[in-house]
Structure 1
Amino acid sequence: MKKIARTFATIAFILSVLYLIYLYITVDQSASATQPNLSDQLTAHIVSVGLAFLMNGVGLVFTSRNFVLAGAFFYVVAILQLPGNLFFVAVQALLSVAAFIVGKPERDQFI
């Protein structure tokens, strides 16, 4: 991957860490005796952001733009699951897509 693509992916990775911390704090504070369970929609959103975080991290470690694209896909899925948090996740999705587009392919593959 090119240096600018790696920078974009790193920024998206850091933002997803901060967003997961924000979600943890928000869910922890809102949990009470009257509402012990998370909604299914919020749980699926947290899982999607976690998978995107994981894919972005793997893409950074192995310098693979395909994993970064998979992370961008999971960010878009997270946006569709909880549209109220669009502005938190949209920046990460755009940075991941930009990292995929700007990044240089490792080799030509014809599958």
Structure 2
Amino acid sequence: MRPPLWPVLSVIVCPPVGPWSELRGIRPSRVWPEDIRVIARAEAERLELPDYDLWLFDSRTLVRMHIDESDTTIGVELINDPDRVLAACRARDAATAAARPTVEVWAHTTSRDH
């Protein structure tokens, strides 16, 4: 039985700088397949995507991450409100359509960009 594909999408500054440039070497797992994509922060703002980290586990459960200025997770919020979950699903779909595979982004990023 083949494991499910886990989509992972990150909003980044383009070209990738700082800690984001460390993602350059990440490749999808062969054991647990992932679809790793990135979207530029400017594009995320244009699409009016949420300005917080979130996880969607299914079409009924949203987890909003609360992260402080030092990138430390200080809490999580489990959300089951159908309207908020639907809004997050729509944001995910818009982001996924606009995002590019990580390996494609890195192929167009020179070593001086990070």
Q: TM-score, with normalisation over the residues of structure 2?
A: 0.30
The structure that is strand-richer by fraction is 2
Q: Normalized against structure 1, the TM-score is what?
A: 0.31
Compare relative contact order (CA 8 Å, sep 6+) and give the higher one, 1 or 2: 1
